Amino acid sequence: VTPLIEAKGLTRVYEMRRGLFGKAIPVRAVDDLSIKVLPGETLGVVGESGSGKSTLGRMLLGIDPAQAGAVTFEGHPMPAFGTAEWRALRARMQLVYQDPLAALDRRLTIATQIREPLDIHNLLTKSQRDGRVQALMAAVGLRPDQADRYPHELSGGQRQRAVIARALASHPSLIVCDEPVSALDVSIQAQVVNMLRDLQDEFQIGMVFISHDLKVVRNVADRVAVMYLGRIVEEALSDVIFASPRHPYTQALVSSVPVPGQPLKGRMILQGEPPNPADRPSGCAFHPRCPLATDICRTSVPALRTIGVGRSAACHLVEGATAPIAA
Ligand code: SF4
Ligand code: MG
């Protein structure tokens, strides 16, 4: 089966200056990263802030250019950002990000904004568009009387529902959701995530679900990729990642999430500073925080290797063995 979207060797380096006259430091936000999403599949991308996951999401959609590597969408090379070919593709790939208020125009009603992609891409007849907007509002749990409301007249959760309805309007085959619920009240996060999962399933959309919160990803992802400083350190089916994480970083993340029906194992506390892309440690970038680090970890970069069917990890201590390394 042809992947819906496939990225190979993606690399994005930007220059950062410390202070006005400081020396420019090259920062590798995304570093030689390869990933694919199958049609109708949800890939969870997990990592702390600074791991490059948002940059990756934007690169997958061709919004942030890559210095190296390539993205293929539905079997074709991703056209360059801003070209007519790229704009035409935008109907098939959509982005939902954290702040729905920033994503919406405060001067336009909710219905007008949900309808926008249909108008821009000239989809359906004008009279059919109204019906489609009503159906989309119902699908995301908005009431018909909210059609004529403005963004500030809705709650945060309702606004994000409207953004999701707009993203679905053009029947995309891919949605990239970047922290779609982090700005919402904890009490409604699960509702919005469950709704996204149901819609993804119903319409068989491929989804990249980016989050710093492994708990949230667990609910929605078929597969999970864990990122650290611009690279994938572990990738596996969601159930597998949660049942037997192999990379020490994943083990630490998983140990902080209670798993229903399983005894809570000892929580692994990460030492040291959160990752800073401008100051990448030598060798395994995780070594200053890794409780299992040895000498080789400080000098040699562990390659991402296959460690089982559909699973890979980048750690010197993880071989093809089946037993999980001690947590
Ligand atoms: Fe820890 Fe070494 Fe594995 Fe990196 S390579 S995760 S430092 S054990
Ligand atoms: Mg982010």
Please give the structure tokens belonging to residue 214. Answer: 């492994």
pLDDT of residue 327: 35
The per-residue b/e assignment along 257-284, b for 16 or more CB within 10 angstroms, e otherwise, is: eeeeeeeeeeebebeeeebebeeebebb
**Distance of CA 126 from the midpoint of ligand 2 (Å):** 37
User: Domain for residue 106, yes or no?
Assistant: no
User: Domain for residue 147, yes or no?
Assistant: no
pLDDT of residue 305: 95
User: Is the CB–ligand 1 distance for residue 229 below 6 Å?
Assistant: no
Determine the residue of 247, 292, 301 to mutate for testing ligand 1's pocket, defined as the one with the most ligand atoms within 8 A of the Cβ atom: 292
Q: Read off the pLDDT band of 9 (50, 70, 90).
A: very high
pLDDT digits (tens, 9 = 90+) for 304-319: 999 998 899 999 999 7
User: Domain for residue 286, yes or no?
Assistant: no
Pinpoint the alpha helices (H) of 121-261: 126-139, 156-168, 186-203, 214-218, 238-243, 248-255
What amino acid occupies position 95?
A: L
- Tell me, what CATH number does 54's domain have? 3.40.50.300
User: Domain for residue 324, yes or no?
Assistant: no
Residue 94, C-beta contacts closer than 8 angstroms, at least 6 positions apart = 117, 167, 168, 170, 172, 174, 175, 176
> Which residue, among 165, 172, 141, 159, has the nearest Cα to 104 in the 3D structure?
159
User: Is the CB–ligand 1 distance for residue 218 below 6 Å?
Assistant: no
pLDDT of residue 265: 63
CB 230 within 8 A of CB 59: no
User: Is the CB–ligand 1 distance for residue 44 below 6 Å?
Assistant: no
User: Domain for residue 47, yes or no?
Assistant: yes
pLDDT of residue 211: 95
Domains in the chain, number: 1
Average pLDDT over residues 76-104: 92
pLDDT digits (tens, 9 = 90+) for 140-166: 999 999 999 999 999 999 999 999 999
- Enter the ipTM: 0.94
Determine the residue of 246, 290, 304, 312 to mutate for testing ligand 1's pocket, defined as the one with the most ligand atoms within 8 A of the Cβ atom: 290
User: Domain for residue 192, yes or no?
Assistant: yes
What is the CB neighbour count within 10 angstroms for residue 319? 12
User: Is the CB–ligand 1 distance for residue 316 below 6 Å?
Assistant: yes
User: Domain for residue 287, yes or no?
Assistant: no
User: Domain for residue 111, yes or no?
Assistant: no
The per-residue b/e assignment along 72-83, b for 16 or more CB within 10 angstroms, e otherwise, is: bbbeeebbeeee
What amino acid occupies position 107?
A: R
- Atom in ligand 1 nearest the alpha carbon of residue 298: 7
- Domain limits at 56? 37-63+75-92+172-266
Please give the share of the chain, as a percent, with pLDDT higher than 90: 74
pLDDT digits (tens, 9 = 90+) for 174-208: 999 999 999 898 889 999 999 999 999 999 999 99
What is the DSSP secondary structure assignment for residue 58, as one 8-state letter?
Answer: H
User: Is the CB–ligand 1 distance for residue 297 below 6 Å?
Assistant: yes
User: Is the CB–ligand 1 distance for residue 302 below 6 Å?
Assistant: yes
What amino acid occupies position 276?
A: N
| Ligand number nearest to the C-alpha of 302 | 1
User: Is the CB–ligand 1 distance for residue 228 below 6 Å?
Assistant: no
pLDDT of residue 259: 65
- Atom in ligand 1 nearest the alpha carbon of residue 233: 6
pTM value? 0.91
- Atom in ligand 1 nearest the alpha carbon of residue 292: 8
User: Is the CB–ligand 1 distance for residue 27 below 6 Å?
Assistant: no
